[in-house]
Structure 1
Amino acid sequence: MLNIQEISDRLEIQELLVAYATAVDGKDFDALDQIFTEDAHIDYTAFGAIAGTLAEMKKYLTSSMAQLTACQHLMANTEIRLDGDRATGRVMAWNALGFPTEDGEPHIALLGMWYIDEYTRTPAGWRISRRGQERNWTKGFGDVIGNGR
């Protein structure tokens, strides 16, 4: 049975995951400063992106997502394992991305993945201290991110 602190910790981490999706989908990359620790390591190489620091990832996302007409994360099946002021997680994500076309109707491409996370409790609350991706499937990318169908 979960105690009140464990329930609170799980809810705070789940809210952090929602805040991440909201920030990225809204292209509000400065909001990521309230989601990741300052020294976070972020690895999105599973889909051909970069790995690096929060500052490097914010710069990369600003540039790479500028072309998108839409982005929508659906986060589900969150597995959170608490260990005091640290936690780990595996979060299923379904990500739809809209690319511009000549006729104005966006081309939609899809990603299926899991985020593999480490979380740290800070004085300002829970933050993601490490994030990676585990690739499952893609649809509609062609050769854009390799082996997509």
Structure 2
Amino acid sequence: MPYEPTAAVLNNIRNTISNYCIALDTKQFPLLHSVFTKDVVCDYTAVSPTNPSIIGIEKFLERIQIILEGRITQHALSTQRLEVVGNEDEEVICNAMTYFTANTFTTEEGALNHVSVFGYYVDRLREVDGKWLIFERKVHSFHPRIKNSSSIAPSPGY
């Protein structure tokens, strides 16, 4: 019999994907343990060519903290498709596609630098102890990064 996800299951999946952005933007990196499985496989080639394949949550935590050192980020999620497949007799998987905009800010030599990336995540999630976690992620970018600099001083929040 095909698995029919409840509204609570779909909300759990959406929250998992959202918690990724919240963890990065607030620098609450331990929150990523509630986003990814221990053995997650991530492909970030589209947005970070020097970090193409990341295997395992601990390696991901190590790399993301280095990548975001000295940077402020703001992620926004928009269009999303969730497809839950499987049946009650086998493992149920969610295939998710979620559009994102990621803005990164740095200050160097008195200038505020801003980079925007527009893309989408292709995630595969499974239920682990009642929580839906990402076990596979591939990041896609719609175009090259958009970058600009400004001599305007950053606000006190930066």
Same fold (TM over 0.5): yes
Distance 2:54 2:67 in 1: 15
Which residue does the alignment assign to 1:110? Answer: 116
CA–CA distance in structure 1, aligned partners of residues 75 and 23 of structure 2: 10
CA shift at 1:106, angstroms?
2.2
Which structure is higher in helix share? 1
Cα distance in 2 for partners of 1:112, 1:11 equals 24
Q: Where does residue 101 of structure 2 map in the other structure?
A: 94
Report the Cα distance in structure 2 between the residues aligned to 1:88 and 1:96, rounded to whole angstroms: 25
**CA distance in 2 between partners of 1:59 and 1:41 (Å):** 14
**Matched letter for residue 22 of structure 2:** T
TM-score using structure 1 length: 0.84
Correspondences of 1:18-97 after superposition (within 5 Å): 18-47=18-47, 48=49, 49-53=51-55, 54-68=57-71, 70-84=72-86, 85-97=92-104
Q: Equivalent pairs: percent with the same residue?
A: 17
SS of residue paired to 1:100: strand
Indicate the residue corresponding to 1:147 in structure 2: none
The number of equivalent residue pairs is 137
CA deviations over 1:8-54 (Å, ceiling 9, x no partner): 22111111111111001112222111111111111111121331222
> Which 4+ runs in 1 deviate beyond 4 A?
none
Preserved CA contact (<8 Å) 1:16 1:127: yes
The superposition leaves residues 41-99 of structure 1 with CA deviations (integer Å, 9 ceiling, x where unpaired) of: 1111112133122221211111111021x100001111100014311011000000001
Judge conservation of contact 2:5–2:84 (CA < 8 Å) in 1.
no
Shift of 1:4: 8.0
Distance 1:90 1:82 in 2: 12
Task: Give 2:9's aligned residue.
Answer: 9
Counterpart contact for 1:51–1:57, Cα < 8 Å = no
Q: Partner of 2:13: helix, strand, or coil?
A: helix
Q: For 2:146, give the aligned amino acid.
A: K
The one-letter amino acid paired with 2:79 is: N
Greater displacement, 113-122 / 79-88: 79-88
Point out where structure 1 has 5 or more consecutive residues left out of the alignment: 142-149
In structure 2, the gaps of 5 or more residues are 87-91, 149-158
Match of 1:145 in 2: none
